[in-house]
Amino acid sequence: MATAFHILSAGYDHQLMQTRSMLLRHAGFMVDEAHDLMGVLGCVKSDSFDALVICHTIPENEQRWIISLVRRVRGLLPIICIRATVYGSAQEGCSVSTNEPGEFLAAIGKAIQHPRELRSPC
C-alpha cells in the first residue's frame, strides 16, 4: 500500500498557505499548516512529518531560528524555503524554491525521495 508524504507548511499569510496546501494535497501529500512559531515548534517536536516548507512571509530572523531548531531536533529533515522572488535570499540549511507551482513541487519531490509510513497529524 502506498503511503503519502506528510508536509508541514509554515507561514503567516493564511490565504497563501491555504492555496499552497491545496496544491500539495492535489499532488498527493498530506499537509498540516502552522501559522505561528509555537505551531512550528509543536510539530517539530512531534516527529509527525516528512518535510518542512517555510514561506517567505516569515521574517528571515525567524526563519533562521526555525531552521536552527529543526536541525537540533531533527537534523536530516528536509526543509524547503520559499523565496518571494527569483532573486530573494535563501537561508543556510534549506533547499530553495519560488512560489511557482511547478518549481515548488519539483523542490518538494527532490527533497523527499524515500517513502515513510503514515503518521498521525500534529
Q: What is the CATH number of the domain that holds 49?
A: 3.40.50.2300
Q: Provide CB contacts within 8 A for 120, sequence distance 6+.
A: 48
How far from the centroid of its chain's Cα atoms is residue 104's Cα?
A: 11
Residue 44 gets which letter from DSSP? H
The verdict on residue 120 lying in a domain is: no
pLDDT in tens, the chain (122 residues): 356 899 999 999 999 999 999 999 999 999 999 999 888 888 877 778 899 999 999 999 999 999 998 888 888 899 999 987 666 666 777 888 988 999 999 999 888 874 443 333 44
Measured between alpha carbons, how far is residue 42 from residues 8, 33, 62, 105, 116 in Å?
11, 12, 15, 25, 20
Structural domain of 16: 9-111
**Grid coordinates belonging to 37:** 512559531
The verdict on residue 79 lying in a domain is: yes
Total number of domains constituting the chain: 1
Other CB atoms closer than 10 Å to residue 27's CB: what's the count?
A: 16
